[in-house]
Amino acid sequence: ILEQQIKAQGEIVRKYKAAKESQEKGQNGFSPFQTNVTDKHCRFLNDYFSSRSYVCGYSPTTADEELLKATSKSKIDLKKFAHLNRWCSHIKSFSDDEKQNFSTISYSQLKILIDPYLDVQIAEEVSKLLELKAKLNEDETHATASQKFILKTPKGTRDFSPEQMAVRSSVLNKIISVFKKHGAETIDTPIFELKSPWEEVKKEMVEEKGLSEEVADQIGEYVRLNGKEELVVKLLKDEKLTKSKAAVEGLEAMKLILHYCDIYGTSDRVLFDLSLARGLDYYTGIIYEAVLLGGDSSGDPESSVGSIAGGGRYDNLVGMFDSKHKQVPCVGVSIGVERIFAVLEAKYAAANKKIRTTEIQVYVATAQKNLVEERMKLCRVLWDEGFKVEHSYKKNPKLLAQLQHCEEYSIPLAVILGESEIQKGVVKLREVNSRVEVEVSRTQLPDEIRKRLQNYCMNGSS
């Protein structure tokens, strides 16, 4: 309803504005006096009639009669407006026959009265429109007051700064390089796996698998155990376990795994933990989890970061989707890269270590003005040589600002050009960290850059 009232009031405002803007007021059939006379109108008319006897000056017209009809409808006490009241009383004193002889006048001849009269009316109608809109806003605010607006980031979505992206790229590249080293192929798919605590596993055993509390508690005694190959040997001698064919097969498989780890030289980083359980049913053999320890080498559990990867063997999973249910042995692992990212970001922040956000190797700088094209030419040469190069896109950048850019973004080398260097066919090659500069010929520049970049990497600065 309010919206309809606002629409109607808006039409009234437009109508009055159109009446004022019309060169021939009244020709569109709209009378400016067809309004409810307000206190503001009366004040204006009182002013108007302080120096006039009639609307048009010194003789009555049809405009006086029309204005009288408008003021007569008003409930305002006209006695407080002396000049307006005098005018009203005088016009009322004319008989109907006398009014028939009033001169007819067009609205275009009343510009001196109608324009300011309409201004008063427009202001009045606009005020009403604003009141309606304010009321609508109040209603909308009241309607939504009980609704709490919470901005949520959808799971799996997040904005990353250049520093964070550098960490992500570094971690992913390391993971991919290790996998490729062992012949893996690359896919990317979302994984939803959780390590289940013993309490949840016990609950599942009793409530879903139908085991008794007593049996679940006996299993719990084994769950608390962890160790290395000697634990496997001990369990293989356990009378309760040896009665179970599946338990013996599992322990033999674990013994073999630990033996293989010893061959690979990784047994010191592997622990047989019977409490480990995955929250998915498709595993048919070994399951494993990678735990990242803290910065010290003590192995103190207090410094442990926690699980960052998990997986296992699942021989029947592929067969579930095969019409012949063919068994296909599979082993997989999912890596919690987001947790690794968070750990590394915190580590870098604690060490106040700057993270490189670009891979630029060489920055081409100029020492004088009007050398932008020379910078571009040298960049092209170095790009063709396979280097990662950039330069300032300002026409005449200051040399100090260019060198500060190199330091800020950890760019190892800067090539500096000047008029004299261009004439001699040489450049100045600057190591940004040490600020050492050497003069190098343009022909030898690529080889010199390669040599210095190699030293830069060997020193562990990359």
Per-residue pLDDT reduced to its tens digit, 164-185: 777 777 777 787 777 776 666 6
Structural Rg of the chain based on CA atoms: 45
345 and 401 both lie in a single domain: no
- The answer as to whether 284 is a domain residue is no
Least confident interval from 215-229, 403-417, 442-456:
215-229
Whether the CB-CB separation of 2 and 139 falls below 8 Å is answered with: yes
Q: Residue 237 is part of which domain span?
A: 196-277
179 and 309 both lie in a single domain: yes
112 and 25 both lie in a single domain: yes
131 and 67 both lie in a single domain: yes
Locus of tokens 């085991």: 211
- The answer as to whether 155 is a domain residue is no
- The answer as to whether 151 is a domain residue is no
**Domain holding 428: CATH number?**
3.40.50.800
DSSP state of 149: P
405 and 343 both lie in a single domain: no
pLDDT for the residue numbered 205: 79
pLDDT at 303 over 60: no
pLDDT for the residue numbered 302: 42
- The answer as to whether 410 is a domain residue is yes
pTM over 0.85? The answer is: no
173 and 255 both lie in a single domain: no
- Residues 339-363 have pLDDT tens digits of 787 777 777 777 777 777 788 999 9
Average pLDDT of every residue of the chain: 80
206 and 93 both lie in a single domain: no
101 and 170 both lie in a single domain: no
- The answer as to whether 126 is a domain residue is yes
pLDDT for the residue numbered 297: 45
- The pLDDT-based confidence of 368 (bands split at 50, 70, 90) is very high
- The answer as to whether 401 is a domain residue is yes
- The answer as to whether 231 is a domain residue is yes
- Residues 60-90 have pLDDT tens digits of 888 888 888 888 888 888 888 888 888 889 9
In Å, how far are 291, 292, 444 from 304, measured between CA atoms? 8, 6, 51
372 and 247 both lie in a single domain: no
Domain count, the chain: 4
345 and 453 both lie in a single domain: no
340 and 372 both lie in a single domain: no
User: What is the phi/psi pair of residue 273, to 5°?
Assistant: -120, 110
219 and 311 both lie in a single domain: no
The closest of 49, 117, 114 to 78, measured between CA atoms, is: 49
Reading the block at residue 230, the tokens are 């000697």
pLDDT at 450 over 90: yes
Dist. CA 360–CA 456, nearest whole Å: 13
- The answer as to whether 321 is a domain residue is yes
- The three-class DSSP label of residue 66 is helix
